[in-house]
């Protein structure tokens, strides 16, 4: 029987076929880089297998397992805990993964990932076509591959493909995404060879053609997918043009690949390809061009395309054949099922914060801002189970930490009431979202999700209710548990010693729209909050100077998004003074002292304070003798970011 969402999204949920294998729908789970959950020797761990079991159950018609490096030396290894497929000893675990995918009714592909320029993480060097210096200092110095070594690398890929098919996978995939070895040969930036593997687009594509040919010969009955850049975004470094990128796609098509997966960007690219600052659907023109050029080859695409309805429209309009989705399924593994059941309002949204990549780029296992379960599937204590003793829980604060704790606890059978002093849920997140230059709708979608789930699950939310000591005495013994998730505030008390400190404006008041600053603004604090408000004000025509005590601005911003704020600061003409602190304030302006002891006067109309932040600890002291269990989470314990708030809220809800 057709489900209501399947009828609405009939193009997305129609069956498909790749090679001789039929898919139940046109959704391809993308390999999503690597998880970093595995052994340093490339072995697959129980943690990884538990994650894959969840992925297998996402409902995708085609599932690509994360990239495995194909060489025993580890020159292709980019991440400390990347899986390996260079030896038969790894086969049993890959067989388990292939079985999980098949048991869920999906076609199974194994990605082979040689990181090239970004590899050799355990070796102290990397290999690439030419010795082109790294632009990012944390990558290894390069060595040029000889022609003999190129032949070995190609054979290692072919062996890895044979191994994957023997393990039970239906097909394999090679990838140039993010600037790995295949991209290094294809690109003018990293391929400066003068032999038959370098020079023209035809010659630069020779490695790819030989690689495809070797894999096709090794696995003649199994389809091959290749992920290729539609846009490298490497113009600054002399990378390929879009026309050259599509010439390389043509070469892959001529070699007989069954699928082209269109991707965007390198790790070194100086602009965003799928962060929050990119509008969903922005890159669709690349897949549309590929589909027009290669009508007889399957085209998969999903770069910054988190919405099933948009994907359905794209398939209907011939923009691509398969919706390739990864990060939205990290945020909510039930996304496809909810789409099929027409329950999209219940989807836990992917907000493009790129916490996943930020963690990987720090050599950590990836996690998701929105999904606290990711990476903990193997741990029973992270699973939502029925509570042995049903409790009456009060949550103070309807921000992300409080709402996450509330809905998680309610799923376990507790009775939950949330108390919020404002007239709406969302806490300070709602205020900062309104000042966000990237995509405010992404941050607001988090709040919308909590509102929907609270109503669906029967969580009572009492707005315009401040829970202080007097209030607690009025409800004494009505609740068994109190979770304090009252967030943090700007620590204005730090500046009380200053003459005219009453002239200082709390950044929260500006963020909530309760105070309108003057034309010329000095912002004290160059962290995420200070920069977000400064950028919004500068965009609106204010003249802004940011004062930061540390050496650099943006210290608390995720690594993958620091560059974006730095770029906005430059684009909007925001002045920055680092290694400095406020010492005087007047109606005429602010005076700061630098690390060298120099005083600098900055004329302005308003001085806004965004830092330091102070956790709202007061309620802990007031409530400790008023309730059986007292817990805290999010900024109410230590001021940090959205991911910490959601994760701590979940951990509280799942264990109380």
Q: How far apart are the C-alpha atoms of 162 and 157, rounded to whole Å?
A: 9
Q: How sure is the predictor about 237, in pLDDT bands with cuts at 50, 70 and 90?
A: very high
**What's the confidence (pLDDT) of residue 1?**
84
Residue 357 has pLDDT above 80, yes or no: no
Compute the mean pLDDT over every residue in the chain, rounded to the nearest whole number: 95
The pLDDT tens digits of the residues spanning 376-428 come to 999 999 999 999 999 999 999 999 999 999 999 999 999 999 999 999 999 99
**What's the confidence (pLDDT) of residue 558?**
84
**What's the confidence (pLDDT) of residue 559?**
82
- Of 511, 485, 477, the C-alpha closest to 639 is 485
Residue 349 has pLDDT above 90, yes or no: yes
Q: How far apart are the C-alpha atoms of 595 and 580, rounded to whole Å?
A: 6
CATH 3.50.50.60 spans which residues of the chain?
491-614
Q: How far apart are the C-alpha atoms of 246 and 229, rounded to whole Å?
A: 8
According to DSSP, the residues that pair with 585 across neighbouring strands are: 590
Task: Give the percent of the chain with pLDDT over 70.
Answer: 100
The pLDDT tens digits of the residues spanning 12-29 come to 999 999 999 999 999 999
Rounded average pLDDT over 541-559: 94
The pLDDT tens digits of the residues spanning 511-523 come to 999 999 999 999 9
End-to-end CA distance of the chain: 40
Rounded average pLDDT over 80-105: 97
According to DSSP, the residues that pair with 578 across neighbouring strands are: 548
Rounded average pLDDT over 179-197: 97
- Of 295, 540, 535, the C-alpha closest to 436 is 535
Which option is the CATH number for 491-614: 3.40.50.720, 1.10.1040.10, 3.40.50.300, 3.50.50.60?
3.50.50.60
Q: How sure is the predictor about 563, in pLDDT bands with cuts at 50, 70 and 90?
A: confident
Residue 338 has pLDDT above 90, yes or no: yes
Q: How sure is the predictor about 364, in pLDDT bands with cuts at 50, 70 and 90?
A: confident
CATH fold label, 4-360? TIM Barrel (3.20.20)
Q: Which residues contact 363 (CB under 8 A, 6 or more apart)?
A: 36, 79, 80, 121
Rounded average pLDDT over 99-116: 98
**Which architecture characterizes domain 385-487+616-655 according to CATH?**
3-Layer(aba) Sandwich (3.40)
453 neighbors 584 (Cβ within 8 angstroms): no
Rounded average pLDDT over 34-47: 95
CATH 3.40.50.720 spans which residues of the chain?
385-487+616-655
According to DSSP, the residues that pair with 68 across neighbouring strands are: 112
Q: Which helix (H) or strand (E) holds 111?
A: strand 107-112
- Of 69, 66, 8, the C-alpha closest to 34 is 66
Residue 119 has pLDDT above 80, yes or no: yes
Residue 360 has pLDDT above 80, yes or no: no
CATH 3.20.20.70 spans which residues of the chain?
4-360
**What's the confidence (pLDDT) of residue 204?**
98
Peptide bond into 612 cis (omega under 30): yes
Q: How far apart are the C-alpha atoms of 67 and 82, rounded to whole Å?
A: 8
**What's the confidence (pLDDT) of residue 476?**
85
Residue 655 has pLDDT above 90, yes or no: yes
Q: How far apart are the C-alpha atoms of 50 and 100, rounded to whole Å?
A: 10
Rounded average pLDDT over 331-350: 96
Q: Counting Cβ atoms within 10 Å, is residue 514 exposed (0-12), middle (13-18) or buried (19+)? A: exposed
The pLDDT tens digits of the residues spanning 466-512 come to 998 899 889 888 999 999 999 999 999 999 999 999 999 999 999 99
């Amino acid at each position: 029987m057709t489900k209501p969402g399947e009828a609405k999204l009939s193009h997305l949920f129609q069956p498909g076929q790749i090679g001789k294998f039929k898919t139940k729908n046109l959704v391809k789970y993308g390999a999503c880089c690597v998880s970093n959950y595995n052994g340093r020797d490339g072995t697959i761990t129980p943690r990884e297998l538990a994650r894959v079991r969840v992925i297998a159950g996402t409902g995708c018609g085609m599932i690509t397992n994360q990239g495995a490096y194909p060489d025993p030396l580890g020159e292709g290894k980019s991440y400390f805990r990347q899986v390996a497929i260079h030896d038969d000893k790894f086969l049993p675990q890959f067989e388990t993964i292939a079985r999980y995918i098949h048991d869920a009714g999906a076609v199974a592909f194994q990605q082979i990932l040689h990181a090239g320029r970004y590899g050799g993480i355990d070796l102290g060097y990397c290999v690439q076509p030419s010795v082109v210096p790294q632009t990012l200092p944390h990558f290894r110095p390069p060595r040029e591959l000889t022609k003999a070594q190129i032949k070995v690398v190609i054979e290692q890929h072919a062996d890895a493909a044979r191994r994957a098919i023997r393990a039970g996978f239906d097909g394999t995939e090679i990838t140039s995404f993010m600037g790995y070895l295949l991209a290094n040969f294809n690109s003018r930036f990293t391929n400066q060879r003068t032999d038959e593997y370098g020079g023209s687009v035809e010659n630069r594509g020779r490695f790819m053609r030989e690689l495809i040919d070797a894999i096709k010969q090794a696995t003649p009955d199994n389809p091959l997918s290749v992920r290729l850049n539609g846009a490298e975004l490497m113009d600054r470094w002399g990378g390929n043009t879009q026309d050259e990128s599509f010439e390389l796609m043509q070469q892959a098509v001529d070699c007989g690949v069954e699928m082209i997966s269109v991707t965007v960007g390198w790790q070194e690219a100086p602009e965003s390809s799928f962060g929050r600052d990119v509008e969903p659907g922005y890159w669709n023109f690349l897949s549309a061009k590929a589909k027009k050029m290669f009508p007889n080859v399957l085209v998969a695409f999903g770069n910054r395309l988190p919405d099933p309805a948009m994907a359905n429209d794209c398939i209907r309009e011939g923009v691509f054949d398969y919706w390739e989705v990864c990060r939205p399924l990290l945020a909510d593994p039930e996304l496809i099922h909810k789409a099929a059941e027409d329950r999209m309002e219940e989807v836990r949204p992917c907000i493009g914060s790129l916490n996943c990549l930020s963690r990987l780029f720090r050599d950590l296992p990836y996690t998701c801002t929105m999904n606290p379960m990711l990476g903990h599937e193997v741990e029973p204590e992270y699973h939502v189970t029925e509570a042995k003793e049903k409790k009456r829980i009060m949550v103070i604060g309807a921000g992300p930490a409080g709402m996450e704790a509330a809905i998680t606890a309610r799923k376990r059978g507790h009775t939950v009431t949330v108390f919020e002093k404002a007239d709406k849920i969302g806490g300070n997140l709602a205020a900062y979202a309104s000042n966000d230059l990237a995509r405010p709708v992404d941050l607001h979608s988090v709040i919308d999700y909590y509102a929907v789930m609270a109503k669906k699950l029967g969580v009572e939310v009492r707005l315009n209710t401040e829970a202080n000591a007097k209030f607690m005495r009025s409800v004494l013994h009505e609740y068994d548990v109190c979770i304090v998730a009252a967030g943090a505030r700007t620590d204005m008390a730090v500046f009380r010693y200053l003459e005219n400190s009453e002239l200082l404006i709390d950044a929260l008041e500006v963020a909530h729209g309760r105070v309108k600053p003057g034309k010329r603004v000095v912002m004290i604090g160059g962290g995420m909050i200070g920069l977000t408000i400064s950028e919004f004000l500068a965009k609106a025509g204010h003249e802004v100077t940011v004062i930061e005590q540390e050496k650099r601005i943006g210290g608390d911003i995720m690594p993958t998004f620091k560059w974006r704020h730095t770029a906005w600061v430059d684009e909007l003409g925001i002045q920055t003074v680092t290694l400095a602190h406020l010492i005087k304030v007047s109606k005429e302006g602010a005076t700061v002292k630098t690390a060298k002891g120099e005083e600098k006067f900055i004329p302005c109309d308003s001085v806004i304070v965004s830092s330091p932040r102070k956790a709202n600890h007061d309620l802990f002291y007031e409530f400790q003798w008023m309730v059986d269990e007292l817990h805290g989470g999010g900024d109410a314990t230590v001021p940090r970011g959205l991911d910490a708030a959601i994760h701590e809220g979940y951990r509280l809800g799942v264990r109380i």
